[in-house]
Amino acid sequence: MAPLRSAMPVSSLFSLVCFPHNFNKLFLANKKTFESMKTATTMTTALAVVLAALALIMGARTVDAAVADTCKAAAASDVRVNVDLCMSKLGSHRGSLEAADAWGLAKVASLVGVDNANLAAADIKAQEAADPNVRMKPALAKCGTLYKDVGMCFAGAHDQINNHAYPAAKQRLDEALAQTQLCNAAFAAAGVTLPQPLALHTVDCIQIAIIAGAITNLIK
């Protein structure tokens, strides 16, 4: 059996045992080395965090620029487009992070329309549950049915744009616009004003259908 060997020379071990201050020096030296390594690791981690934050900021600026340019171009092609609402709605949607051209942003606009139609439908249910007056009930029921169709129209437009079937997409967006306007007509016929926030959702749906159509026309 081979004799055990110490990882440290005997003379060094003897020095540490006989002269404790040598051990203290070695301990302090190792401690400083460890602290230096720890500091370097912390600085590296902090630098990585800063670089990641800068990448996100630069990416957000690029997205904002793409959305702004597209919304302005859409407004130039269709005077009905509200540029501020276009930039606000599209820029705040998660899909805009991956959309850098008209094709991508037309799909984002359609998804914004789906979300808005769902909000309108949910608000109608809440209004109905609150026991509205007699004249408002039929209008709410009519709009509840209409907004289900509006959501499907926007979803269909998204799929058609994704498949590069732009005329079919425009038709679905025109249908979404018409259905939303029918909700307005239902309240007008009942002689009552659209309650909030349904009135806001209705205005937004009309505008989003116009925006999505205008952006679709920009696709090359």
pLDDT above 60: residue 37 = no
| Domain presence at residue 6 | no
Residue 215 — pLDDT band, cuts 50, 70, 90? very high
Residues 6+ apart with CB under 8 A from 146: 179, 180, 182, 183, 186
| Domain presence at residue 4 | no
| Domain presence at residue 164 | yes
- 136-162 helix and 102-129 helix, angle to the nearest 10 degrees: 160
| Domain presence at residue 32 | no
- Of residues 49 and 105, which shows the higher confidence score? 105
pLDDT above 60: residue 6 = no
| Domain presence at residue 138 | yes
Overall number of domains in the chain? 1
Tens-place pLDDT, residues 181-203: 999 999 999 999 999 999 999 99
| Domain presence at residue 116 | yes
| Domain presence at residue 49 | no
Give pLDDT, residue 64.
81
pTM of the full structure: 0.71
Query: Which CATH number fits the domain that encloses residue 163?
Result: 1.20.140.40
| Domain presence at residue 43 | no
Q: What is the largest CA-CA distance in the chain?
A: 105
Which domain, by its residues, includes 170? 62-218
Give pLDDT, residue 58.
43
Tens-place pLDDT, residues 132-173: 788 899 999 999 999 999 999 999 999 999 999 999 999 999
Residue 107 — pLDDT band, cuts 50, 70, 90? very high
